[in-house]
Structure 1
């Protein structure tokens, strides 16, 4: 079986994790729900004032990633002496589970009808502490057996592009502008109400490109190019920030595909250092692109 990609929604040792989940977690399910509801309340108190609106929608809509990340950090920093009595048993159950070898990690994937989702996978329980980030009428926290949750890995960059267009009403183009990053970040995404971004700035997608010999990246780099005007606007911003950009889309496409081939043929040689350097450069490029804001779609 293939090793897990970062944040991949999959359980490697299902039988062992199921035994530990049944032994330690399921008997304390009400207390666990109370614990996560309590933590979600403390997260809201911090996040809501910091980001009251995201892409034109009020908190918590669209804030699945932020809430999930905050929950993971809250669990690390948790002081059980500060918990309300009803949540103490939930924390104790988690502690017993982890001491026995239970696993806990953040995952990201596609859930039918709800799009791309971030959650915590604890044993064989999926903890979605941001259910209401996709639908305000839903309860904020759900604890669901992973086998029933329907959270699946994204297949490739084309799958990501289709989901981004459907979920965010985004315009998605191949990254012919910055070919040096294209094998790892082959898409440029314009989300209404947000900024232009090089994607995917998600560790899973970066690792997926690498594991598949960059075939996933090469496939979307062959998509139709953006207009010359849009290419010029993005290239100008990145050039001013010190990046080496392509002269035009055909040149960028050829250079990007050539790098995909080079990285594929190089195999694991120098791959780790290149991966880390890419993460740093990608973050810097997206900071520069924040000046290019995408007009929000009119309401209704």
Structure 2
């Protein structure tokens, strides 16, 4: 296997130290930009921003690096391993943005849930208990406890529901639609909208107080077939499958653009 990398404990510590130094550089830039996430101080809730900035720094640093940890990473790449960004479930407890190098899990934002943890964690991928999200049921189980939300089916924009089947309500009375990241959109399309259809069948309807607020918000948005299309969410799932919309990336992009024109949340 070309990307099988054998690092011992000492080498892992050396890599972690060099990545922690890059992370410190990133923190200096991000703290002024993102001092708070909701009511939580940096770095809480900023795993994506941190991971993305460290990943960008690595692209610049690795080709000419002399630091021993970064040299080990470069040697792994030279042997055929790939370094990629990943997002998914960590122990089915929370969502995490991390990196994978070959068969190693590299988390440079390990302290974004618990700030007392080390900034960097490196583990064999098989031991990390990190996995891609495989279903909306799995996603909701994590979101409910990690975000503290109740989850409902998207009847607000039924034409968007095959791509974005979920509506969230938090303890502060905020309500929003999701989840529009590439991984979750791929989940809908790779399943030919069957996973969306399944979760829409099982979720309760949004409470009337929130559906009324959403309807008022949508009235002020320029007419859009995804936003104002009428019908049942399940029927749209079946129609898009019949029309093979799961193969149509421009249709997906139009759906995302429609979503981006919606309010971030109503309350």
TM superposition score category, shorter chain reference? 0.7 to 0.9
After TM superposition, the score normalised by the length of structure 2 is: 0.88
Shift of 1:201: 1.6
Of residues 243, 248, 251, the one that matches 1:271 is 248
The structural deviation recorded for 1:195 is: 5.5
Q: Which has the higher contact order (CA 8 A, sep 6+)?
A: 1
Deviations 1:63-91 (A, max 9, x none): 2222122222222233877x7x7xx1222
Q: 1:52 to 1:102 in 2, by over 3 A?
A: same
CA deviation vs aligned residue, 1:32-72 (integer Å, no higher than 9, x gap) = 11221011101111212212221211111122222122222
Does structure 2 retain, via aligned residues, the 8 Å contact 1:176–1:246? no
Structure 2 CA distance for aligned equivalents of residues 269 and 50 of structure 1: 37
- 1:281 aligned to 2:258? yes
Query: Match of 1:197?
Result: 176
**TM-superposition CA deviations, 1:1-58 (whole Å, max 9, x none):** xxxxxxxxxxxxxx3211xx227x9774333112210111011112122122212111
Normalization by structure 1: what TM-score? 0.79
What displacement does 1:156 show? 1.2
Q: Using the TM superposition, give the Cα deviation of residue 241 of structure 1 relative to its aligned residue in structure 2, in angstroms.
A: 2.4
CA distance 1:71–1:190, shift in 2 (3 Å): farther
Q: How far did residue 170 of structure 1 move? A: 0.9
C-alpha separation in 1, matches of 2:18 and 2:53: 14
Show the counterpart of 1:3.
none
Aligned equivalents of 1:269, 1:45: Cα separation in 2: 42
Matched residues, number: 264
1:163 equivalent in structure 2: 142
Residues 240 and 122 (structure 1), Cα distance of their counterparts in 2 relative to 1, 3 Å cut: same
Asked if the contact 1:32–1:89 (Cα under 8 Å) also holds between the matched residues in 2, the reply is yes
Q: CA deviation at 1:188?
A: 1.5
Inter-partner Cα distance in structure 2 for 1:197 and 1:269: 24
SS of residue matched to 1:133: coil
Does 2:215 align with 1:232?
no
Deviation at 1:194, TM superposition (A): 9.4
The 1:67–1:257 alpha-carbon spacing in structure 2 relative to 1, beyond 3 Å, is: same
Alpha-carbon spacing, 1:76–1:196, altered in 2? closer, same or farther (3 Å): farther
The equivalent of 2:89 in structure 1 is 110
1:206 to 1:113, Cα distance in 2 relative to 1, 3 A: closer
Q: Hey, what's the Cα distance between the residues in 2 that align with 1:118 and 1:269?
A: 25
Structure 2 unaligned residues grouped into runs of 5+: none
Q: Does 1:89 align with 2:68?
A: yes
Structure 2 vs 1, CA of residues 115 and 194 (structure 1 numbering), >3 Å: closer, same or farther? Answer: farther
SS of alignment partner, residue 209 of structure 1: helix
